[in-house]
């Protein structure tokens, strides 16, 4: 009977301990709940964004070409000799046949005069012998020999005259001269380059395109080319020649276009970016290329939209308006032009798309749009100087 009070006291003590533990646990729970409720909500992230819009695209074939003159040559000499006179200044405009260099030809001219004198004597001898033949004083064979001798001596004189003419170096066609380092008194060897001569009122641009594009090429087709020497300036041209042979190593075909160059801005040897219009205009949803996140599993963009109407935890601004939230979606990209990319699937016109600041976003992140500084979004960007 003495054990019953002891057991009762132990049960009461155990009950008190359990009650104490329950009270402490409940207090801790209330404390954690209060702490969670008072925790600051995540701040909205600042991004730039645009609305997806449809734009007309002209399908284009692009390539890099090299400019070449319609006529261009490095003037040389065929024979050796000493320069007597330089008849131009570097950079001069010259006409076809204009004298550029005079070489010393004194001895050659003297030799020409001697040969010409022999030819004149042979002509006189032939004339006299023909008179004697008419009087039957000499034979026909003598006259025939005189005619052959005259032709031989005239040929020698003509050969010497050609040699003398080569001592006068003339412009083979009209154009603009380059810079020469040749001076009077300088000795020249055959083949020495004296000065460059280029006709640049019209120039060619030579470029290559893949063989799969051959069917879309035609003579007279218009194209546009740009050069980094003149940012923002386009030069119109048209296709004038298509090579009849495909390069077996690259499977490319060479194309040549003619470019009017009245201001002579384009010079032979320059490179140019060539854009060739192909087919009819097409319409695409377009975005700046910075809006696309490329991943091994696909391309994605972040769309911005209001939070669900039943969302109680939506972050609001000072005016009580709920912030837009980000949602990542997959898209299929198409061709590009300049800073823009075409979106084929996954997007509708008018949807708001993040264009920069994606790295700090995830699904459901509240955002603030600040478009004071927008990413580049030009279909025809040009180099900018800073």
Q: What is the model's pLDDT at position 94? A: 94
Phi-psi region of 91 (alpha: psi -120 to 50; beta: other; left: phi over 0): left
Mean residue pLDDT across the chain: 86
Q: Over the Cα atoms of the chain, what is R_g?
A: 45
Q: What is the model's pLDDT at position 155? A: 95
Residue 98 pLDDT > 60, yes or no? Answer: yes
Q: What is the C-alpha separation between 352 and 287, in angstroms, rounded?
A: 10
Q: How confident is the model at residue 307 (pLDDT cuts 50, 70, 90)?
A: confident
The pTM of this model reads: 0.62
Q: What is the model's pLDDT at position 385? A: 45
Q: What is the model's pLDDT at position 333? A: 92
Q: Token pair of 92, please? A: 């001069």
Residue 42 phi, psi dihedral angles, 5° rounding = -60, 140
The mean pLDDT of 290-312, rounded to a whole number, is 84
Q: How confident is the model at residue 386 (pLDDT cuts 50, 70, 90)?
A: very low
CB atoms within 10 A of CB 351: 19
Residue 88 pLDDT > 90, yes or no? Answer: yes
Q: What is the C-alpha separation between 138 and 120, in angstroms, rounded?
A: 21
Dihedral sign for Cα atoms in the order 148, 151, 157, 160: negative
The mean pLDDT of 67-75, rounded to a whole number, is 93
Q: What is the model's pLDDT at position 312? A: 58
CB 63 within 8 A of CB 354: no
Give the SS3 label for residue 130: helix
Q: How confident is the model at residue 78 (pLDDT cuts 50, 70, 90)?
A: very high
Q: Token pair of 153, please? A: 């001596």
Residue 39 pLDDT > 50, yes or no? Answer: no
> Higher model confidence: residue 384 or residue 377?
377
The pLDDT tens digits for 358-379 are 888 888 888 888 888 888 888 7
CB 354 within 8 A of CB 370: no
Q: What is the C-alpha separation between 272 and 62, in angstroms, rounded?
A: 11
> Higher model confidence: residue 195 or residue 138?
195
DSSP H helical ranges for the chain:
3-38, 106-134, 140-166
The mean pLDDT of 297-312, rounded to a whole number, is 81
Question: What separation in angstroms does the CA of 292 have from each of 150, 303, 332?
Answer: 88, 11, 10
Q: Are strands 168-170 and 81-86 parallel, antiparallel or unpaired?
A: unpaired
Return the ∠ at Cα 11 (arms to 7 and 16), rounded to 5°: 150
- Among 91-100, 160-169, 318-327, which stretch is predicted with the lowest mean pLDDT? 318-327
Q: What is the model's pLDDT at position 66? A: 95
| Percent of the chain topping pLDDT 70 | 90
The pLDDT tens digits for 210-257 are 998 888 888 999 998 998 899 888 899 999 999 999 999 999 999 999
Residues 6+ apart with CB under 8 A from 312: none
> Higher model confidence: residue 7 or residue 74?
74
Q: What is the model's pLDDT at position 131? A: 86
Q: What is the C-alpha separation between 98 and 36, in angstroms, rounded?
A: 95
Q: What is the C-alpha separation between 104 and 79, in angstroms, rounded?
A: 11
């Amino acid at each position: 009977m003495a054990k019953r009070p002891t057991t009762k006291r132990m049960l009461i003590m155990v009950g008190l301990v359990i009650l104490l533990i329950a009270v402490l646990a409940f207090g801790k729970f209330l404390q954690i709940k209060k702490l969670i409720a008072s925790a600051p909500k995540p701040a909205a992230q600042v991004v730039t964004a645009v609305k997806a819009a449809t734009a007309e695209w002209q399908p284009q074939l692009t390539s890099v070409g090299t400019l070449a003159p319609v006529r261009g040559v490095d003037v040389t000499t065929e024979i050796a000799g000493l320069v007597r006179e330089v008849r131009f200044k570097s950079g001069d405009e010259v006409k076809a046949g204009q004298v550029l260099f005079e070489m010393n030809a004194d001895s050659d001219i003297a030799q020409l005069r001697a040969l010409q004198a022999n030819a004149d004597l042979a002509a006189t001898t032939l004339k006299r012998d023909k008179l004697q033949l008419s009087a039957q004083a000499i034979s026909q064979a003598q006259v025939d020999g005189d005619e052959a001798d005259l032709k031989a001596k005239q040929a020698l004189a003509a050969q010497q005259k050609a040699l003398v003419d080569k001592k006068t170096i003339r412009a083979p066609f009209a154009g603009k001269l380059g810079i020469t380092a040749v001076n009077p008194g300088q000795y020249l060897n055959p083949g020495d380059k004296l000065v460059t001569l280029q006709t640049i009122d019209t120039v060619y641009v030579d470029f290559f395109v893949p063989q799969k594009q051959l069917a879309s090429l035609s003579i007279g087709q218009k194209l546009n080319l740009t050069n980094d020497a003149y940012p923002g300036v386009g030069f119109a041209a048209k296709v004038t020649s298509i090579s009849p042979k495909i390069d077996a190593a690259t499977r490319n075909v060479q194309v040549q276009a003619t470019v009017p160059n009245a201001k002579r801005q384009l010079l032979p040897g320059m490179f140019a970016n060539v854009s060739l219009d192909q087919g009819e205009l097409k319409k695409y949803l377009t975005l700046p290329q910075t809006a696309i996140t490329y991943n091994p599993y696909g391309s994605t963009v972040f769309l911005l939209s209001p939070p669900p109407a039943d969302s109680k935890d939506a972050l609001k601004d000072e005016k009580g308006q709920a912030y837009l939230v980000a949602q990542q979606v997959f898209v299929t990209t198409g061709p590009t032009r300049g800073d823009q990319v075409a979106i084929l699937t996954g997007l509708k016109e008018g949807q708001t798309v993040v264009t920069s600041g994606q790295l700090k976003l995830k699904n459901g992140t509240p955002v603030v749009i600040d478009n004071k500084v927008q990413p580049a979004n030009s279909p025809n960007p040009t180099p900018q100087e800073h």
